[in-house]
Amino acid sequence: MTSFIRAFALACIAALASGVAHADEPRVTKAKPGLSIRTLDGGTFDLSAQRGRWVIVNFWATWCSPCIKEMPDISAYVAAHASEVSAIGIAWEDTERDEIDAFVKQHPVVYPLAQGDVYDPLPDFEVPRNLPVTYLIAPDGRVAKKFVGPITGDELDRIVAAGKAG
């Protein structure tokens, strides 16, 4: 390794260790996150208005195969538990609105969908690094569980049942 490369590598390591290279620190999801977002149908989904219910907050993308696979499961779960569970699906991608609308026509769900702004992340949630990412919010507004990767109705049932019991 030449002395220049060695010096450059050491400078990079030092910058990383001191935090200089991390001016934009990753966000951490708040224990009781807030969320108010415009839905694709022109409405507004407000997480605080959902208190007393379990809420599924699902980050997805049109190009994400596991996201597409889990959407019917989430939709069926919400439909089967409509008296106590609601959901919001947030498209987390830099895609034109007409592409998302076309996708939604091919993959309808019973819960509202919104498009997140990847350049202006939601203040109370981590920026998704992988998709899908799903948060199950308990009736008191706290994050009961964060899922990275696709989820199923059985997994949701297990967490909801544990939350009710405990």
Domain ranges of the chain: 28-165
Check whether 15 has a pLDDT greater than 50.
no
DSSP state of 111: S
Average pLDDT of the segment spanning 96-125: 95
Q: Indicate the range of 15-24, 47-56, 67-76, 117-126 predicted with least confidence.
A: 15-24
- Model confidence at 165, pLDDT cuts 50, 70, 90, reads confident
Residue 126 and residue 86: Cα distance in Å, rounded? 21
pLDDT at 74: 97
pLDDT at 101: 95
Query: Whose structure tokens read 């819960």?
Result: 111
9 against 64, higher pLDDT? 64
Q: Indicate the range of 4-18, 41-55, 137-151 predicted with least confidence.
A: 4-18
Contact present, 108 and 79 (Cβ < 8 Å): no
Using alpha carbons only, give the angle 85, 110, 142 rounded to the nearest 5 degrees: 30
User: Is pTM, for the whole model, over 0.85?
Assistant: no
- On the 0-12 / 13-18 / 19+ scale of CB atoms within 10 A, 47 is buried
Nearest Cα neighbor of 84 from 138, 5, 18 is 138
**What's the CATH code, domain 28-165?**
3.40.30.10
Residue 92 and residue 128: Cα distance in Å, rounded? 8
Q: What is the pLDDT of residues 41-69, one digit of tens each?
A: 999 999 999 999 999 999 999 999 999 99
| SS3 state at 2 | coil
pLDDT at 17: 43
pLDDT at 166: 72
pLDDT at 163: 85
Average pLDDT of the segment spanning 12-23: 41
Q: Indicate the range of 1-5, 43-47, 118-122, 142-146 predicted with least confidence.
A: 1-5
